[in-house]
Amino acid sequence: MPHNPEDDWTRPVPRSSRGGRGGSDPTRAVPRGGHDDRSWEDAPEHTRALPRGDARPSYAAQGYEDDGYGDGGTTARSTRGYYDENGDWVPRPRPRARTRSDYDDYDDYDAGYDAPAREDRRRAAAAPPAGRPPRDGGHGGGNGGRRPPRRRARYGVRRFLALLMLLVVAYVVTMAVVIAMVWGSIGRVDATPQASDRPSGGAGSSYLLVGTDSRDQLTDEERREFGTGDAEGSRADTVMLLHVPGLGGEPTLVSLPRDSYVPIRDQGWNKLNAAHSIGGPALLVDTVEQTTGMHIDGYMEIGFGGFVGVVEEVGGVTMCLDAPAADEKAHIDLPAGCQDLTGPEALGYVRMRYSDGRGDLGRVERQREFLAALVKRMASPATVLNPLRLHSVGTATGEAIALGEDTSLLDTARMALAMRTIAAGGGTSVTVPVENPDYPTNVGSTVLWKEQASAEMFAALREGRPVTVQP
């Protein structure tokens, strides 16, 4: 509808101030009943009151329908319209009745106008209380109170890590218990010399590894099967010196032939293995120390029966033979090539010497090779990392070997690690330099060392230098 200011019924009707106050303000309403001191003619035209009665045009005469209020009252009419500048009454147009479409128009307008506010109220209602993290990740609009997949995944990772940590702790505890059981199954022997002139310690640590011909763990049938004989007591059948240098050094394994011609304290010159049969492990350690000048820090020995049991427990040891090996006294007949040796076959293989043209020197080389292969088999991940397997092999080995009373768990671990290094092809594996492998003496045929070469080799070990002397 066009907007005409003169037709705007909302404008107030000009009135004069009451009681004649305010001078000649044209906006003052004209007082009724002659209360103004001015005459009707002197009042401004647009403020003159219309005459009462029939002189005023009727509401219907002006073209409008009766509004239901009648024509008699000016007051009633004044609330329904206004007087124009000519003094004519202009009624207010009757408002048109609204239809549903009109409300729909306003509803659409209100809906668009109130949309941001409603969205803010919805977000405020979905927001969690202060101090708690949002349950929907801070993106608004909850998901029915359920945790989002990302949060569930994070909690799943935490549960997995906690379970993994629990399994690791259980595994470590189990391994510790197994190691304690294996350590408790190892026998002990007195291998500490009581002499006051023992050599001082050098660079690193030195350990004496001994294989005895003790038959105590063998039955009569096993003695006949293995060809070990019925000799009583024990003698050192295999003697090796394992030197482990300080950090970063390579271990050295030196074979000392059992028939080596050496001086024995208070016994004169004799074969090396005689020291074990005369005075046991302590005298053998003392003899090696006086002969080599090396301080022995640990001792380990194993008998015939224990050797066979360990080989059987690990499931045999693989050895590759360049030529067939047959020895009637050792009760073996092995073909050339790679093969798994059983316990009895392994025992005959390391003891065989009569069919070997090199005699005792050839035997000590086979002993080093077999010991390295045995340690490699025992130190495989399938054995070391499996608590059940470690317990089985470990207890069998513990019952088969004996350690010196002063040999600690740390010393044993260092021996095992050094032997694993040698089994993997590292370090140095040699035989003491020999002058004569069949040196005749009053105690029979012996092995005579090269005095100067052997002294230089042991001096290099004591001082932590590489061994360069060849046998």
pLDDT in tens, 59-111: 555 555 544 444 444 444 455 677 777 777 777 776 666 565 555 555 555 55
The CA-based dihedral angle spanning residues 302, 432, 369, 388, taken in that order and rounded to the nearest 10 degrees: 40
Backbone angles phi and psi of 334, in degrees to 5:
-110, 135
* Percent above pLDDT 70 for the chain: 65
Lowest mean pLDDT among 22-31, 94-103, 181-190, 262-271: 22-31
Q: Which of 182, 397, 406, 405 is nearest to 303 (CA)?
A: 397
The C-alpha atoms of residue 202 and residue 246 are separated, in whole angstroms, by 10
Q: Are 362 and 349 in contact (CB under 8 A)?
A: no
Give me the count of residues in the chain: 471
Q: What is the pLDDT of residue 53?
A: 46
Of 80-89, 171-180, 422-431, highest mean pLDDT: 171-180
Q: State the pLDDT at residue 60.
A: 52
Minimum mean pLDDT range among 1-10, 168-177, 216-225: 1-10
Query: Do the beta carbons of residue 150 and residue 156 sit within 8 Å?
Result: no
Model pTM? 0.62
| 29, 87, 276 from 14: Cα distances, Å | 6, 12, 142
**334-364 pLDDT, tens digit each:** 898 998 888 888 888 887 877 777 777 788 8
Strand stretches in 324-399, DSSP E: 325-327, 332-334, 337-341
The domains located in the chain, with CATH, are 188-463 (3.40.630.190)
pLDDT digits (tens, 9 = 90+) for 282-341: 999 999 999 999 999 999 988 777 778 888 888 888 888 888 888 877 778 889 899 888
Q: What letter would DSSP give residue 420?
A: H
Long-range contacts of the stretch 59-62 (C-beta < 8 A, 24+): 59/91, 62/89, 62/91
Return left, alpha or beta for 34; rule: phi > 0 is left, psi -120 to 50 is alpha, else beta.
left
**CB count, 10 Å around CB of 139?**
9
Q: Read out DSSP for 253-276? A: EEE--TTBEEEETTTEEEEHHHHH
Between CA 372 and CA 386 the distance in angstroms is 21
- Give the best-scoring range by mean pLDDT among 166-170, 325-329, 369-373: 166-170
Which one has a higher pLDDT value, 293 or 35?
293
Q: Count H helices, E strands: the chain?
A: 12, 17
43, 30 contact by CB (below 8 A): yes
Tokens in use for 235?
Answer: 């003698």
